[in-house]
């Protein structure tokens, strides 16, 4: 992706945190008729190196066919929001400002492996469920459903595993603006978009 140095985020722990916090990624591959893309919830495993992504697709989804051994791209989108020139002190000083968009994003590339083993799928859906049910007062577990029902559901999905070969992180969060503008953006977003306001403060050296 287009990647100015000012917006580059290369720290693995920060990239992994975004993936875990925003796990609904866009899986992009190619098929007989061109590009294919589907949004699906991923699990990230720390296996050393850059990590491993696991996901499952509906068996009826044609994307998995021909996916085995293919180089794929997965895009994870973190906080994002429109930035009004009205936030900028520069607007009041010179008027020489335009709107923009702030966002945090991680792009992962690797080779896909199709996983049809029922035991692998069983483990993957249990781990995915446990990850997102954690913190609930009464977390639902896969074992709460009748086993024959779960086995029928497993027959309707196909797993995909991706050992990450490369990761790119881009945090475009007003770092290029003068100090007064960064302060204005952080203040302007504080109520409606607190996650982005926090990133503007962190990457704009406004904390402490």
In a domain, 204, yes or no: no
In a domain, 198, yes or no: no
Rounded to an integer, the average pLDDT of 131-155 is 95
Q: Which domain holds residue 121?
A: 5-177
In a domain, 191, yes or no: no
In a domain, 196, yes or no: no
In a domain, 24, yes or no: yes
pTM: 0.94
In a domain, 208, yes or no: no
Say whether pLDDT at 48 is over 90: no
CATH number, domain with residue 112? 2.30.110.10
**pLDDT-based confidence at residue 33 (cuts at 50, 70, 90):** confident
In a domain, 189, yes or no: no
Structural domain count of the chain: 1
Terminal alpha carbon distance of the chain: 32
* Contact (Cβ atoms closer than 8 angstroms) between residue 83 and residue 135: no
In a domain, 173, yes or no: yes
Of 79, 96, 173, 157, nearest to 121 by C-alpha is: 157
């Amino acid at each position: 992706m287009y990647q100015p140095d000012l917006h580059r985020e290369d720290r693995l722990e920060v990239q992994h945190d975004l993936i875990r916090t925003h796990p609904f990624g866009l899986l992009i591959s190619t098929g007989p008729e061109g590009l294919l893309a589907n949004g699906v919830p991923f699990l990230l495993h720390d296996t050393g190196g850059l990590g491993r992504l696991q996901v499952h697709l509906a068996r009826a989804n044609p994307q998995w066919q021909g996916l085995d051994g293919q180089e794929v791209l997965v895009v994870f989108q973190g906080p994002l929001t429109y930035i009004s020139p009205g936030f900028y002190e520069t607007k009041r000083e010179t008027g020489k400002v335009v709107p923009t968009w702030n966002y945090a994003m991680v792009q992962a590339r690797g080779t896909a492996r199709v996983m049809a083993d029922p035991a692998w799928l069983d483990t993957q859906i249990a781990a995915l469920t446990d990850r997102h049910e954690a913190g609930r007062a009464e977390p639902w577990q896969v074992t709460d459903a009748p086993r024959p029902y779960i086995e029928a559901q497993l027959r309707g999905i196909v797993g995909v595993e991706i050992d990450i070969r490369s990761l790119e992180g881009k945090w475009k969060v007003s770092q290029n603006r003068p100090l007064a503008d960064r302060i204005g953006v952080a203040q302007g977003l504080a109520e409606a978009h607190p996650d982005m306001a926090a990133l503007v403060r962190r990457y704009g050296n406004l904390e402490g």
